[in-house]
Chains A and B, each alone.
Chain A
Amino acid sequence: MRLRTLEISVGAFVLAGALALVFLAVKVSGVNFTGSRDSYTVLARFDDVAGLRHRAKVSMAGVTIGRVTGIEVDLDYGEAIVTLELDGLAGVLPADTGAQILTEGMLGARYINLLPGIEEEFLEEGDMILDTQGALVLEKLIGDVVTGMRTKK
């Protein structure tokens, strides 16, 4: 085994491995390397966030504009407080923007959908969205339907 061939193949191997790692990071996990994006944080209160996970997407009109970065519970009111990290600068979304928890497809992951409001004041860093609709939990739905059927009778 000639030394040069050996060194070259080892170098190629290490390069391939490194590229594989980079590929995994970028293509497979979609990590962005575009500098430090501007982002701001808003909060939202929900009565039920069943199934919502960290890093779930936040979208408006089908476009992803941010991620869920925190889910906590407010023990006083029995509600969930979700932290949303949104791209871009603050002061774009109206103060009466609504947030709902929807499901991707039939069995997909939960995500947050924002519905734009009409007020002229805007959401700033750390503001709270109050107009929310919690996750639809299948069992509750069925329970409502059954109760509804019973009361009709």
Chain B
Amino acid sequence: MIGYLRATGERALVFFGHLGRASLMWGNALSGIPRWNDLLLLVKQIYNIGVLSLVIIVLSAFSIGAVISLQFHTQLAKFGAEDAVGVGLAMVLLRELGPVVTALLFAGRAGSAITAEIGLMKSTEQLSSMEMMGVDPLRRIVAPRLWAGMFCLPLLTAIFNVVAIYGGMVVAVEWLGGDPGGFWIGMQDAVEVWEDIGKGMVKSVVFAVVVTWIAVYQGYDTVPTAEGIGLSTTRTVVLSSVMILAMDFLLTLSMYGDFR
């Protein structure tokens, strides 16, 4: 019994240690005024993190939009309310699926890439040698990736939403012969800029911070062996996914929960 308590206590301490190190890393990386040279590094990372994720985001978005549209249509047809497909699709995407699915895909593709990259640099002593040459790896390697991640995910979410709605429209209107006017007007009537789009974007920004932070820290904290890199990469994906879903739960509750 005592042993169990001690083990839990030790785990808690380790956890706090990680959290502390991660926070310090965060603070040190983002402090200081960015210089002009850093901009080029940032652009390169936006490419690696954002542009290279486009393919998977767009493909997934189209499929998900199409599939949801189809399922909604089937169910709503029972009530003769097919015209509501547009509304339902938009609501579900903008508020939930857009931010969450994009973040999950992002964690899997970009997050793991970041972790692996930084972890590899650590285990081949590149970070150490950079430091020895007087260049701070936090500013040069970590900071651009942090900024790029936080910048790219909301953009990717917006793109996801648009493509998914388009995919849904293709199914509802072209294939199932729905009324395009009803699809769009119903949607426009129901969707509000702040309530639906805005809050969805807020979620996306929160996810961006969380996922990028986890990805970068796991890479920076890797055990510098081949096995260590694999473990860290896996941990990034798993931890990010859990955090995304947990935060989504909390955010949805606080944004849309009606406690009256």
Contact = CB atoms under 8 A, between A and B. Distances in A.
Given A17-B156, A28-B188, A30-B188, A107 B197 contact: no
B24 to A, nearest CB: 30
Contacts of A106: 79-81
B81 A17 contact: no
B65 to A, nearest CB: 12
Contacts of B187: 28, 30
A150 B155 CA distance: 63
A41 B217 CA distance: 54
Contact of A14 (B155, B161, B196): B155
Q: Classify chain B's interface size.
A: 20 to 34
A16 B197 contact: no
B152 to A, nearest CB: 8
A30 B189 contact: yes
Contacts of A30: 187-189, 191
A13 B191 contact: no
Given A25-B193, A30-B188, A20 B79 contact: no
B188 A20 contact: no
B110 to A, nearest CB: 13
Contacts of B54: 13, 16
Interface in A10-57: 10, 12-14, 16-18, 20-21, 23-25, 27-31, 55, 57
B188 A107 contact: no
A109 B161 CA distance: 24
A62 to B, nearest CB: 12
A43 to B, nearest CB: 23
A16 B158 CA distance: 9
Interface in A105-124: 105-109
B159 interface: yes
A24 B197 contact: yes
Contacts of B191: 28-30
A28 B47 contact: no
A30 B86 CA distance: 13
A90 B213 CA distance: 54
B79 A107 contact: yes
Given A28-B165, A30-B191, A31-B193, 11 more contacts: A17-B154, A17-B156, A20-B161, A24-B158, A25-B197, A28-B197, A30-B187, A30-B188, A64-B189, A105-B81, A107-B79
10 interchain residue pairs of minimum CB distance? A17-B155, A30-B188, A20-B158, A29-B191, A20-B162, A20-B159, A21-B158, A13-B51, A29-B193, A10-B46
9 contacts: A6-B43, A13-B47, A20-B155, A20-B161, A30-B187, A55-B192, A64-B189, A105-B81, A108-B81
